[in-house]
Structure 1
Amino acid sequence: MTATVRYDEVEVGQEIPAVDYRVRRLNLVMYAGASGDFNQIHWNERFARMVGLPDVIAHGMYTMAQSGRFVTDWVGDPGALVDFGVRFSSMVVVPDDDHGATITVSGVVEEKLGDKRVVISLTARSGDVRVLSKARAVVQLS
């Protein structure tokens, strides 16, 4: 875990460096077990293609969770996340190979609020495709 980010050290417009999160089919099976979402589009390539998808796709909530992880890792405190919301704008396609897919998340401090809270605007991409839009988090800093 990183050191806790302090409110007085953060500036509006400050960029939070991008982090890559590797996604493999095994991650999707594990997430299905944890979430109870066993929809076949997340693990069965034949079924995913049959319903018109290019391949197996990651759960939207799994993608969102990686963005939440990005924020809490930056802050250094998982309990600091006060509010979090996204819109799902595209799929994370996860091929069955050694590389899988990558979700790249970055952020910018958009606003400083009272009570040592800041708003973080997030960008999440898989390859050249933006997979989340209107992704924002409010975090409580020390």
Structure 2
Amino acid sequence: MARIAYADVEVGTELPGASFPVTRETLVRYAGASGDFNPIHWNERFAREVGLPDVIAHGMFTMAEAIRVVTDWVGDPGAVLEYGVRFTKPVVVPDDEKGALIEVSAKVAAKLDDEARTVRVDLSAHSAGQKVLGLARAVVRLA
């Protein structure tokens, strides 16, 4: 895949958005890969006892799904120099065949350094009509 050229990008450029489905099975697989077996991510009774509406997706999982919009666009995960978010709402994952959907959009918010060819990309992530990530930003080096 060809890398995006810095000269071809303007502030306001919208990246192709994406939607990422999340089911309880997805959470179990992520727990196994990450080692995060907190019961809020798989045990509905426990999640409700601690005040959550239902089982929720791992924050790091949500964060990882969101940055996929940027890495798919730039064509090289190594081009992401910085990435940070604030978690605003959990992604609630019902125990049904549909689960939840994380919807992500992003745009180039600033050109930071012409010599280094870096841009700041602002991301927006929603699930069930709620913003789940705030101040989601990545610094990316373009070709």
> Given the two structures, how large is their TM-score scaled by the length of structure 2?
0.94
Q: How does 1:28-67 map to 2 (within 5 A)?
A: 28-67=27-66
Deviates more, 1:124-133 or 1:9-18: 9-18
Q: Which runs of 5+ in 1 are unaligned?
A: none
* Matching residue of 1:125: 126
| Residue 98 of structure 2: aligned partner | 99
Q: Name the SS for the 2:98 alignment partner.
A: coil
* Corresponding residue number in structure 1 for 2:110: 111
- Asked if structure 1 preserves the Cα contact closer than 8 Å seen for 2:11 and 2:110, the reply is yes
What is the RMSD of the two structures over their aligned residues, measured on CA atoms?
1.0
Equivalent position amino acid for 1:117 in 2: T
Does the 8 Å contact 2:16/2:69 carry over to 1?
A: no
C-alpha displacement of 1:4: 1.8
Q: Structure 1, residues 58-107: CA drift from partner, whole Å, max 9, x if none?
A: 01111001112221011111111100000000010000111110000101
Q: Does 1:25 align with 2:20?
A: no
Report if the CA contact (8 A) 2:21-2:102 is conserved: yes
Q: Which residue of 2 aligns with 1:70?
A: 69
Q: 2:3 aligns to what?
A: 4
Q: What does residue 139 of structure 1 align with?
A: 140
Alignment length (residue pairs): 141
The 2-side partners of 1:3 and 1:34 are apart by: 30
**Alpha-carbon displacement from aligned partner over 1:22-48 (angstroms, at most 9, x marks no partner):** 011111111111111100000111111
Residue identity opposite 2:140 in structure 1: V
Shift of 1:3: 3.4
Distance in 1 separating the partners of 2:118 and 2:138: 10
TM-score (norm 1): 0.95
Runs of 4+ residues deviating >2 angstroms: none
